[in-house]
Structure 1
Amino acid sequence: MRLSGAAANRFFARPEPDRAGLLIYGADPMRVALKRQEVIAALIGPEGEAEMRLTRIAASDLRKDPALVGDALRAQGFFPGPRVVFVEDATDTLATVLKDALADWSAGDAMLVVTAGSLNKSSALRRTFEGHANAYAAGIYDDPPSREDIEAELVRAGLKEISRDAMTDLHTLARELDPGDFRQTLEKVALYKLGDAAPLSSEDVAACAPATIEAELDDVLHTVAEARTPDVSPLVRRLEGQGITPVSLSIAATRHFRALHAAASAPGGAAEGIARMRPPIFGPRRERMLRQAQSWGMQRLETALSILTDTDLKLRSASRAPAMAVMERALIRLAMLNRH
């Protein structure tokens, strides 16, 4: 039988232990591995592997000795509880072996969990599981997790109160990060909120999201964009002491002001432009950049980008002027440009 969508997610979270087998396949090995980990953990629990209720069989070993899978399915361990036989990286060459194993399966045997790469509709391996009355086949595609998937992950981690803004931020992150990185971010969020009864907020997500630029650079760029002219020089000196080069500072400033310009010139307004930024920004930093884009406006941001382009050319030229002094002067000029 074939599983898809919400039905597949429900089975991964709460698998039916009396099923003979499950095939999980897909082009992204990480997505397939995460689903396989989820379903096996749900079947045998956290101590299942330690209690030897999980048997792993490499596809290469099974090709050499087809009897391995049948013996493992029927074997009885010392510890009570559900058992799983896991075959990794299977291909159509194992379809007959696995079909025979499923045909010989009886109540009380272990569940057969098989993972594979991309399989088309004519795949013999897919047909083996989809055509079996007591087995499932589930394709894992490159679509990002849905809001329901994210909520389920957070609830499983013990977080039940999630604000709307936090869910929006997590959904955006899910589209930008690969599955493994997103899973790590969710785990980090759960640890961050451990013991905190307050609902998960956008600020919490921002604190756990992967950083997009260095925090030290962020400080000086926000200072410039917010026209806090007296604070620019001390921050530049601190960056210089930390080894940040003038060219690196120029690149970061140009990236920041290009982002503000893109937001300010977005057809739907600055808020829509900020929401569409890639990589995404979250929490207080998002609100801060929105205020900056609205304060500067498109025309002054074009002037700012012109100043930064000229400064970058000067930094890369044969000029003998102290490079950091040139960059500092440009940043002060930018800060003064937006003074009302």
Structure 2
Amino acid sequence: MKVQPRNADGFCRNPTAGIVAVLVYGPDTGLVRERGQALSRAIVSDLQDPFRVSDLKAEQISGDGARLNDEMAAIAMTGGRRLVRVRDADESVTVAFQALLKQPPSGDTLCVVEAGDLGKSSKLRALFESDDKAAAIACYVEEEGELAVTIGRILGEHKLTIDTDARDWLAANLVGDRAVARGEVDKLAIYMMGASRVTLEDVRTVIGDSAALDMDEPALAAADGDIASIDRALGRLFAEGTSPVPILRSAQRHFQRLQMAVYHTTRGQTAQQAVKALRPPVFFKMENQMTNQVRRWNLPNLALALDRLMDAEADCKRTNMPDETLCARAFFQVAQLARRSGG
């Protein structure tokens, strides 16, 4: 069965009875991990319990479906439901799960499978979506509006309210990876302990120098025409396991904001005034850099840059070329446009 996005978090807290295996997949690796954890803890509170939890790697079952079946059939010596976790799954485990779902062993063990971005042609995804003993949960990158709601909910769990401008600034700067966002918001909640309301000043104090803003670096470098900095920033993000899609979306947001600011300069505002007027506000340490970018770019070249970035995101989803290559190529093309704009 296919779990609808609006039902995903509720399903993770309370999986439907009769489900043998759940596939959690998508480009937002942080959200995949978070939902995989939530599903797992719904079955076993202590995920280090060796009697009730079995961790398998994809390669352990890709050539040996019997291993998966044996783990699913095992009985916990201490009682209670058992959990089998499969990390970094890919198409190679499809046959093992076809055998499992065709004739699942008796008992109430649940298998939680975590995977990366699986396209519509994925056989593994199709299997979990079509079988009534399995479930598939997609984890796509949250839009800013969705993340803003999530931020409000997480802070509410800490008995905190947040001002609208502070929430929107957080959402704009943390969008792309749910795990990073949750970590930063939890850090903010600890900083605010004893208070009841979070302001924009509080947010900038706590999050301003955070590694969570690293996602902005390739976009800023591209808008400056700085190819060497693009290469370093992308290399670091890819090494950390960040998916190219949220990186491209972060860049699209930056260039859309540049487009808005440049438009306002054509209506009489100075570059500095146009940047100051953007909402959510630009992080103060980036204001000078973005002001210079507004002076560099024009509207026709910004439209071309956005086309390159959106085409790259679409190609990541529909072609067989390596996503990281497609992403890097788009950023280098945008940097060339920046050099032409500044030339």
Structure 2 length as normaliser, TM-score?
0.58
- Look up the match of 1:153: 154
Q: Distance in 2 between matches of 1:27 and 1:10?
A: 20
1:205 to 191, 203, 206: 203
Measure the CA separation in 2 of the matches of 1:160 and 1:106.
46
- Displacement of 1:263 after TM fit? 11
Letter in 2 for 1:120: G
Secondary structure of 1:203's aligned partner: helix
Q: For residues 53 and 207 of structure 1, do their structure 2 counterparts lie closer, same or farther at Cα, with a shift above 3 Å needed?
A: farther
Deviation at residue 210 of structure 1 after TM alignment: 3.4
Letter paired with 1:94? V
Contact 2:26–2:32 (CA under 8 A) maintained in structure 1:
yes
- Provide structure 2 residue ranges, at least 5 long, that are not aligned to the other structure: 212-257, 296-343
For the 8 Å contact 1:19–1:134, the answer to whether it is kept is yes
Q: CA deviation at 1:3?
A: 1.9
Distance 1:263 1:205 in 2: 29
Decide whether the 8 Å contact of 2:21 with 2:134 is kept in 1.
yes
- Helix, strand or coil: the match of 2:173? helix
Deviation of the 1:192 alpha carbon: 1.4
| Corresponding residue of 2:92 | 93
Gap change, CA 1:39 and 1:192, over 3 Å in 2: farther
Q: Specify the alignment match of 1:165 in structure 2.
A: 165
Matching of residue 67 in structure 1 with residue 66 in structure 2: yes
In the TM superposition, what are the counterparts of 1:40-55 in structure 2 within 5 Å? 40-45=40-45, 47-50=46-49, 52-55=51-54
Separation of aligned partners in 2, 1:48 and 1:152: 25
User: Does 1:274 find its partner at 2:276?
Assistant: yes
Matches within 5 A, 1:250-269: 265=265
Of all paired residues, the percent bearing the same amino acid is 25
Shift in alpha-carbon separation, 1:208–1:5, aligned structure 2, 3 A? same
Is the CA contact 1:25–1:140 (under 8 Å) kept in the aligned structure 2?
yes
- Give 1:5's aligned residue: 5
Counterpart of 2:36 in structure 1 is 36
Q: Give the deviation of 1:281 after TM superposition.
A: 2.1
Distance 1:207 1:197 in 2: 15
Letter in 2 for 1:202: L
Residue number in structure 2 paired with 1:115: 114
Asked if 1 retains the 8 angstrom alpha-carbon contact of 2:208 and 2:283, the reply is: no
CA distance in 2, matches of 1:15, 1:267: 55
Could you tell me which residue of structure 2 aligns to residue 19 of structure 1? 19
Distance 1:43 1:166 in 2: 36
Bigger mean CA deviation after superposition, 270-279 or 180-189: 270-279
Shift of 1:56: 0.8
Give the 3-state SS of the residue equivalent to 2:35 in structure 1.
helix
Return closer, same or farther for 1:163/1:279 CA change in 2, 3 Å cut-off. Answer: closer
1:267–1:51 distance in 2 versus 1, CA, 3 Å: farther
> Contact 2:159–2:196 at 8 Å: present in 1 too?
no
Q: Is the contact made by 2:162 and 2:197 (CA closer than 8 Å) also made in structure 1?
A: yes
Shift of 1:149: 2.6
Partner of 1:83 in structure 2?
A: 82
Q: Give the conservation status (yes or no) of the 8 Å contact 2:168–2:280.
A: no
- TM-score, length-scaled by structure 1: 0.58
* CA distance in structure 1 between the partners assigned to 2:268 and 2:52 by the alignment: 56
Provide the alpha-carbon RMSD of the alignment: 3.9
Q: CA deviation at 1:169?
A: 2.3
Q: Which amino acid letter does the alignment assign opposite residue 153 of structure 2?
A: A
Cα deviation, residue 17, structure 1: 5.9
